[in-house]
């Protein structure tokens, strides 16, 4: 076993060097932590290294938090998965189909327009030219970017990844609970999961031990992502977490501490197939299947200066968390780990 670990450490180190990875790799199973390591700088200008306790932005990796919050409200009887958006919010959505449900929003099958459609736009930064990112502090701030647009397809017709759908889910959480989305998640998900170092932090008020995100240019120059992403994260992404906190989230979720085991089964049902024949989507998470067997639940996130991959492997109960303050790297390391362990 020890030889295998040495081999794993060596192989990981080689891949980290090859791709010039900046971030944290954390792997654990039933017996505890198998591997944890930090690489690169959290602040390049000051040469401050990343540590295993550094907080990283995880972009869309935290759509899972939004889904958990919705499932908690369903368990309380406040809403149902078949509740219709048209009955839940008072905001104006003049062209939205009145049959869009919470289930459609959770599974990216609502057909509502997106404020950032990854099929139509390549550069997330373009959004903030006409809509300055420093104004994007509340979920309502995103509404003018999509609320008056036409539907893309009929509700339930197909899977099409949609950030705006999760903004709407966040607004539903705020309406039902009477508190801000970020406060709800921090109180009802982060606290019970003991994610003590994680939160939705504003870019102009980042706490200590938080990595700045870096955008690398082809000529070797770089810049931070301070003007490239919304100033504060929300229901579609943007929380900051440590790798060990994310592992705690998986543990708490899978052990029934955040939702019941019955609700967990609903969350982790492969509701809809994505464009990739092995990838399905549940509520807030991706599900990888092989010959009708679920081999992996996972989340991922990409923003300018951010990349993130994390998975739970049900058979071995292994958890992998790979956070980076660069735009690529985690998935190459994740695939390597899956091959080796």
Q: Write the pLDDT tens digit of every residue in 203-253.
A: 888 999 999 999 999 999 999 888 777 788 888 999 999 999 999 999 999
pLDDT at 2: 34
> What's the CA gap between 169 and 237, in Å, rounded?
12
Q: What is the token pair recorded at 83?
A: 């509740």
pLDDT at 116: 66
Query: If you average pLDDT over residues 19-45, what whole number do you get?
Result: 95
The residue to which tokens 């955008």 are assigned: 215
- What is the rounded average pLDDT for all residues in the chain? 91
Q: 3 falls in which pLDDT band (50, 70, 90)? A: very low
The residue to which tokens 């951010």 are assigned: 306
Pairing of strands 272-273, 222-224: unpaired
Dihedral, CA atoms, 92, 96, 98, 100, nearest 10 degrees? Answer: -110
Q: Which domains does the chain have, with CATH numbers?
A: 2-340 (3.40.710.10)
pTM of the model: 0.93
CA-to-CA separations, 120 to 16, 113, 117, 144, 300, in angstroms, rounded? 32, 12, 5, 18, 20
pLDDT > 70: percent of the chain = 92
SS (H, E, C) 310-339: EEEECCCCEEEEEEECCCCCHHHHHHHHHH
Query: If you average pLDDT over residues 59-75, what whole number do you get?
Result: 97
The 8-class DSSP code of residue 116 comes to S
Residue 123 has pLDDT above 70, yes or no: no
What lies within 8 Å, CB to CB, of 140 at 6+ separation is: 91, 171
Q: What is the token pair recorded at 256?
A: 């029934």
Query: If you average pLDDT over residues 108-129, what whole number do you get?
Result: 72
pLDDT at 41: 97
Q: 104 falls in which pLDDT band (50, 70, 90)? A: very high
The 8-class DSSP code of residue 91 comes to S
> What's the CA gap between 309 and 327, in Å, rounded?
12
Residue 240 · residue 312 · CB < 8 Å: no
The 8-class DSSP code of residue 221 comes to -
Residue 74 has pLDDT above 80, yes or no: yes
Query: If you average pLDDT over residues 268-287, what whole number do you get?
Result: 93
């Amino acid at each position: 076993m020890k030889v295998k670990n040495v081999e794993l450490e060596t192989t990981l180190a080689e891949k980290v060097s090859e791709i010039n990875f900046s971030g944290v790799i954390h792997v654990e199973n039933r017996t505890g932590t198998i591997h944890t390591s930090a690489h690169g700088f959290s602040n390049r200008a000051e040469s401050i290294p990343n540590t295993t306790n550094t907080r990283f932005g995880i972009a869309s990796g935290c759509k899972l938090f939004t889904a958990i919050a919705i499932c908690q409200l369903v368990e309380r009887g406040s809403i149902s998965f078949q509740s219709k958006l048209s009955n839940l919010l008072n905001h104006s959505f003049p062209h939205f189909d009145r049959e869009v449900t919470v289930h459609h929003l959770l599974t990216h099958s609502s057909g509502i327009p997106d404020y950032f459609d990854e099929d139509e736009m390549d550069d997330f930064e373009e959004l903030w030219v006409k809509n300055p990112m420093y104004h994007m502090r509340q979920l309502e701030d995103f509404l003018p970017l999509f609320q008056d647009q036409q539907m893309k397809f009929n509700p339930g017709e197909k899977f099409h990844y949609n950030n705006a759908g999760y903004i709407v889910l966040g607004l539903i959480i705020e309406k039902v609970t009477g508190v801000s989305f970020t406060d709800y998640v921090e109180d009802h998900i982060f606290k019970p999961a003991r994610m003590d170092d994680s939160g939705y932090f504003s870019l102009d008020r980042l706490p200590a031990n938080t990595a700045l995100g870096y955008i690398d240019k082809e000529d070797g120059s770089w810049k931070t992502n301070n003007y490239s992403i919304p100033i504060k994260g929300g229901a579609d992404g943007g929380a900051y977490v440590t790798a060990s906190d994310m592992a705690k989230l998986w543990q708490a979720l899978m052990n029934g501490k955040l939702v019941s085991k019955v609700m967990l089964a609903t969350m982790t049902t492969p509701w809809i197939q994505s464009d990739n024949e092995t990838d399905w989507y549940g509520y807030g998470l991706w599900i990888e299947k092989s010959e009708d067997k679920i081999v992996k639940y996972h989340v991922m996130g990409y923003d300018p200066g951010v990349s993130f991959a994390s998975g739970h492997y049900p058979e071995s109960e292994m958890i992998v968390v790979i956070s980076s303050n660069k735009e690529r790297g985690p998935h190459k390391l994740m695939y390597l780990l899956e091959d080796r362990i």
